[in-house]
Every structure is written in C-alpha cells, then in structure tokens.
Amino acid sequence: MRPELIHLWPSRPYNWRMEGEHPFGGLFGDPDDLQRRLSEFAEQMQGAQRVAWADNAIKLAVDMTVAAIHSIDLSGSADEQATQVRDAIRMIFPEAVTLVREAREGLA
C-alpha cells in the first residue's frame, strides 16, 4: 500500500453496533428484522419454484400423452384401432404417471 494512503485505511473494521447507529442511517430498518424478512422472502420464492416445477411436470405429462395419441396412424377395424390406441397409452402412461407423482411429491 502506498504510504500516503495508510492514514486513510481504518486501523480496525467499522462496527455500526458500537456506534449505536444502524448501517446506512437506518434506511433498511432493524437489521434483524431485515434478515427475517429476507429469509421469509427466500422461503416464498422456493415455494413458488416448487409450484412452477410441478406445473411444468404435469403439463409435460399431458403434452406427451396428447402427442403420443396424435402420432398414432390408425388403420384396420375398430378392434385393431382400439388395440393401437391401447398400445400407445400403455407405452406413454408410465412416464406420465411418474412425472405427475414427482410433481405431487415436490409440493409436499
């Protein structure tokens, strides 16, 4: 450090509690109250993220199911077409159920 700046550097860290004042002139109120409110805000944001994730997972499950059904090229008799639809649902349904289950568990 340059010698002319040594006198500008504090010898010990500033402690606002020792001065009896709040940092920034009390602009943000009581620091403990601010910390509590920030903690509550963080919890609310985590809850909102869980809900958004669950919404996205459920939407993905629905979109996958709809896409699977739309991709079926039905042909043959009514019984053969029913078998084709059942096969498609049988293939996609476990994945959709897993997504919805995980979404529900994420909200719990």
Domain-embedded: residue 1: no
pLDDT tens digits, one per residue of 19-47: 555 556 556 667 788 888 888 989 888 88
With bands split at pLDDT 50, 70 and 90, how would you rate the model's confidence at 70?
confident
Domain-embedded: residue 6: no
Domain-embedded: residue 3: no
Domain-embedded: residue 71: yes
Domain-embedded: residue 50: yes
Domain-embedded: residue 13: no
Domain-embedded: residue 21: no
- For residue 31, give both structure tokens: 């620091």
Domain-embedded: residue 2: no
Tell me what pLDDT residue 27 has: 63
Domain span at residue 34 reads 30-107
